[in-house]
């Protein structure tokens, strides 16, 4: 699918859109882009209107000096969908995109019919050593050296190092390497550092939405995880699913951090079944107020 572009608040936003029917929004992870959904985009577009953006600071979108918090990403996503003429839909987020999806459901519950979290951040402290190291002070001085062409050309050697750190060959390494390769210019590196440090510090993930998961009890929710995920452990998903009444948890035994790439056919089947067997949420302001007060009274 070809990239399309729109200008929002003076910045270029790249996205892919295809299909017809109920809206499904696919949100990628950190250093990723809409290309991570290539294996599932067209099959989903046979039944749904699918929108996959490149978040600001990622892919073909602009990389301005600005706000890269989860709240800013959620607001930008809301604005993109509004500009494209979409009211509400099923919000699917992977890794950092899962945090954006949860923030979207928190800030704009009226725009979210369902929430699907794929190997999501924001549900516990554990995260791979590489990302914790990238959040260290001074890492912005090291990244330009590591992302230089002469280092990227030694990809096989670095791939071996990543393998020894527990990252499995296949989509996990491919996606991480593609993301790492995108940090070749200063704007992309700056966006990466600001996005990363907003959610991770050297001790692990610093954002945990577990205390607000009760707000999802009136929204059909599914958590989908690869059992071999070494970036964010599947235990985060299991624990979070138990906190949300009626939540569906799907474990992909042969997948890592990118189950939509490891097992795309099963991913499409599971997501389609979830959409077909659940009624879209219709949460208004009074519903949201009642949920908030239910934990305060």
> Rounded to the nearest 5 degrees, what angle is found at the Cα of 85, between the Cα atoms of 80 and 90?
70
Token pair for residue 295? 């934990």
Report all structural domains of the chain as residue ranges with CATH numbers, in order of start: 4-125+207-294 (3.40.50.1820), 129-201 (no CATH)
83/103 Cα distance (integer angstroms): 19
Contact 158, 104 (CB under 8 A): no
3-state secondary structure 243-267: HCCCCEEEEECCCCCCHHHHCHHHH
Active site residues: 95, 229, 257
Integer Cα distance of 205 and 87 in angstroms: 32
Cα 295 to the center of its chain, rounded Å: 28
- Alpha carbon distance 2, 15 (integer Å): 9
- Residue keyed to tokens 């109920």: 22
Helix (H, G, I), strand (E, B) or coil at 42: helix
* Encoded tokens for 227: 């059992």
Do the beta carbons of residue 163 and residue 173 sit within 8 Å? Answer: yes
Stretch (H or E) spanning 60: none
| Pairing, β 49-53 against β 23-27 | parallel
Between the two ends of the chain, the Cα-to-Cα distance in Å is 50
Question: Cα–Cα distance between 43 and 178 in angstroms, integer?
Answer: 23
pLDDT one digit per residue (tens) for the chain, 297 residues: 678 999 999 999 999 999 999 999 999 999 999 999 999 999 999 999 999 999 999 999 999 999 999 999 999 999 999 999 999 999 999 999 999 999 999 999 999 999 999 999 999 999 988 888 888 877 665 565 555 544 444 444 445 555 555 566 678 878 877 777 777 788 988 899 999 999 999 999 999 998 888 888 889 999 999 999 999 999 999 999 999 989 999 999 999 999 999 999 999 999 999 999 999 998 877 877 888 888 755
* C-alpha–C-alpha distance, residues 239 and 224, integer Å: 12
SS3 96: helix
32 pairs with which residues across the strands?
none
- The kind and range of the H/E element at 162 are helix 155-164
For helices 96-107 and 186-199, what crossing angle results, to 10°? Answer: 60
- 25 contacts 89 by C-beta, under 8 angstroms: yes
Tokens of 150: 């002469």
| Per-residue model confidence (pLDDT) at position 163 | 56
Q: Sort 22 into a burial class: Cβ within 10 Å, 0-12 / 13-18 / 19+.
A: middle
How many degrees, rounded to 5, is the angle at CA 61 between CA 56 and CA 63? 60
What is the predicted pLDDT for the residue at 217? 84
pLDDT at 216: 87
């Amino acid at each position: 699918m070809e990239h399309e572009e729109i200008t929002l608040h003076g910045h270029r936003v790249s996205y892919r859109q295809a299909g017809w029917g109920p809206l499904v929004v696919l949100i990628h992870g950190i250093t990723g882009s809409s290309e991570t959904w290539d294996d599932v985009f067209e099959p989903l577009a046979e039944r749904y209107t699918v929108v996959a953006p490149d978040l600001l600071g990622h892919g073909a979108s602009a990389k301005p000096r600005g706000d890269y918090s989860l709240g800013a990403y959620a607001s930008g996503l809301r604005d993109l969908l509004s500009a494209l003429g979409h009211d509400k839909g099923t919000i699917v987020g992977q890794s950092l995109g899962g945090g954006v999806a949860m923030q979207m459901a928190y800030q704009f519950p009226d725009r979210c019919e369902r929430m699907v979290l794929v190997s999501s951040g924001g549900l516990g402290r554990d995260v791979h050593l590489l990302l914790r190291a990238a959040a260290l002070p001074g890492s912005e001085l090291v990244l330009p050296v590591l992302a230089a062409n002469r280092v990227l050309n030694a990809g096989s050697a670095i791939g071996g190092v990543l393998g020894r750190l527990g990252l499995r060959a296949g989509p996990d390494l491919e996606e991480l390497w593609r993301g790492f390769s995108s940090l070749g210019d200063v704007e992309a590196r700056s966006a990466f550092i600001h996005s990363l440090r907003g959610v991770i510090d050297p001790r692990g993930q610093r954002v945990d939405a577990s205390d607000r998961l009760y707000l999802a009890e009136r929204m059909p929710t599914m958590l989908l995880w690869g059992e071999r995920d070494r970036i964010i452990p599947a235990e985060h998903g299991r624990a979070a699913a138990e906190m949300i009444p009626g939540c569906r948890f799907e474990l992909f035994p042969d997948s890592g951090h990118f189950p939509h790439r490891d097992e795309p056919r099963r991913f499409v089947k599971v997501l389609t079944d979830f959409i077909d067997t659940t009624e879209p949420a219709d949460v208004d302001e009074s519903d949201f107020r009642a949920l908030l007060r239910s934990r305060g009274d």
